[in-house]
Amino acid sequence: KRLDAARRQLGDMGGSFKAFYLTMGEYDMVAVVEAPDDAVLARFSLMLAAAGNVRTRTLKAFPELAYREIITSLG
């Protein structure tokens, strides 16, 4: 139920879940999401945390093309 609610909330904000994994180890689950901008993702993360049942760790990922542009810009 909570996962479905989170999908709806993020969708209402213009974002989407790209993948979701149940994991073993330090983290119980991993969600790969996309949002229109960092502010949307920040609001979504804060909404999850406010519910009191989720703690988040956020990683900003750069697709390969952006990676190559960043590396090329270094000279």
Q: Are 56 and 35 in contact (CB under 8 A)?
A: no
Q: What pLDDT digit, counting tens, does each position of 33-64 carry?
A: 999 999 999 999 999 999 888 888 989 999 99
Are 35 and 13 in contact by the 8 Å Cβ rule? The answer is yes
What is the distance between the alpha carbons of residues 34 and 11, in angstroms, rounded to a whole number?
A: 10
Q: Using an 8 Å Cβ cutoff, are 2 and 18 in contact?
A: no
Region 63-70: mean pLDDT is 97
- Please, what are the domains in the chain? 2-73 (3.30.70)
pTM of the model: 0.80
Percent of the chain with pLDDT over 70: 100
CA 17 centroid distance within chain: 8
